[in-house]
Amino acid sequence: MSTLQLSLAIIGGLVLAFIVAYNTWTSRRNAPKRALPPDPEHPAEPAMRQEPGFDAASAPVPAGDYHGLDRGPEPLEHTVDANDALQMPVPAFSLERRPGLDSLIDVIAPLQPENLVSGDAALAALPPTRRAGSKPFAVEGLNESTQQWETPAPGQRYQSFQAGVQLANRMGALNEIEFSEFVVKAQAFADAINAAPDFPDMLQEVARARELDQFASDHDAQLAFMLRARQAAWSPGYVQQNAARLGFVHGAMPGRLVLPASTQGLPPLLTLGFDTQAALAEDPDQSAIRDITLSLDVAQVHRTEQPFARLREAAAVLCEAMDGVLCDQNGTPLPAMAMDPIAADLELLYDQLDGRELSAGSVLARRLFS
């Protein structure tokens, strides 16, 4: 073999090796980022799925959790004088409207039976569906013993009832057809318990529904921001691992993470979503996610939770940790200063909702904006 042929062979081998190395480097560079393996010395606790609960405070606390904590005096050693107790300030409670029918957002028709009605009889007379068209329908009874309006319950006795249908929700305002369906359902219930209904004027209630729906449409804010990968894509595990550091837990649907509210059972503060197909893939580590969505349903979360500030903080931390950029829903990058006007507009929106007695996060607001 001549010297020229040997030189060409060597050069060809070097070029081939360079191409293989470049392709390998490119593949690794563009491969989805994977979650880091857990530290064997400090294993991470699995993230629990966020579900509604009743009383988180009643859960027992392991004895080992008290190690190193000052638990104060034993119960038998701590006494309070009755006179001192009378001088203690009474804690202030929020004037939250009670759950149930409310004339602010419901059409209410009184139903007065001739005699007391048992809860079992009332439950048997209820219609099979609790909706009139797209609007929630409900019946409440005035409990004879507690004198409180409540959903009929077995073993109780009720002296009067009221039927109601919601004036508006995100499906629109109550219309004439839905009002007529409400009347039919309420009349059937009244006939079953031998009660006389008193229905309000349909045209007046439909007009009130349109006015409420217009207000709700003008004050309904659902914010969504996109976090887009700058270079390498992300795997579902990588997204979940970084989100878990901020307190996000698995939601009820694949590809959905939520930041729980401070009070268990309330709607989540924030929602983080990504491609459902990537979350359900047989090998999630090979699924490439180029962007995720961070969203806030303003009317569902109380302003004291500072949800928008939490959203900005979460977006900044995730962008830095995952090498991403914050964008609007169309994928246009957003500068940090663009978030300040949104925060100011939200404060004005909160004030307007408060003025209408539909404070964000309240029972009525969660019903109306649903």
CB 206 within 8 A of CB 175: yes
Whether residue 254 contacts residue 276, with contact meaning beta carbons closer than 8 Å, is answered with yes
- Angle formed at CA 98 by CA 93 and CA 104, multiple of 5 degrees: 120
78: part of which helix (H) or strand (E)?
none
Going by C-alpha positions, the residue among 151, 131, 134 that lies closest to residue 143 is 151
What is the per-residue pLDDT for 336?
82
Residues 295, 223 contacting (CB under 8 angstroms):
yes
The torsion defined by the Cα of 335, 292, 301 and 140, in degrees rounded to 10, comes to 150
Neighbouring CB atoms inside 10 A of 16's CB total 10
**Tokens (6 digits) for 244:** 């878990």
Per-residue confidence in pLDDT tens, the chain, 370 aa: 577 667 666 777 777 766 766 565 555 555 565 566 665 555 544 444 444 443 444 444 444 443 433 444 443 444 444 444 444 443 333 345 566 899 999 999 999 999 999 999 999 999 999 999 999 999 999 999 999 999 999 999 999 999 999 999 999 999 999 999 999 999 999 999 999 999 999 999 999 999 999 999 999 999 999 999 998 999 999 999 999 999 999 998 999 999 999 998 899 999 999 998 888 888 877 788 999 999 999 999 999 999 999 999 999 999 999 999 999 999 999 988 899 999 999 999 999 999 999 999 999 999 999 9
Domain made up of 219-368: CATH architecture: 2-Layer Sandwich (3.30)
User: Which CATH topology does 106-217 take?
Assistant: Cell Division Protein Zipa; Chain: A, (3.30.1400)
Mapping DSSP to helix (H, G, I), strand (E, B) and coil, where does residue 14 land?
A: helix
Domain boundaries along the sequence of the chain: 106-217, 219-368
- Inter-residue contact 130 to 139 (CB < 8 Å): no
**33: its two tokens:** 């980022």
Let me know: does 346 contact 243? Beta carbons within 8 Å.
no
Confidence at residue 18, expressed as pLDDT on a 0 to 100 scale: 66
DSSP assignment of 279-325, as one string? Answer: HT-SSGGG--B-EEEEEEEGGGS-GGG-HHHHHHHHHHHHHHHHTEE
What is the pLDDT at residue 282? 82
pTM for this predicted structure: 0.74
Model pLDDT, residue 3: 75
Give the pLDDT confidence score for residue 37 in this predicted structure.
67
Q: Which residues pair with 108 in a beta bridge?
A: 164
Task: State residue 91's pLDDT score.
Answer: 37
Query: Tell me, what's the pLDDT at 11?
Result: 75
112 three-state secondary structure: strand
Per-residue pLDDT, 98: 61
Question: What pLDDT, on the 0 to 100 scale, is given for residue 292?
Answer: 96
Same fold, 106-217 and 219-368: yes
- pLDDT value of position 301: 97
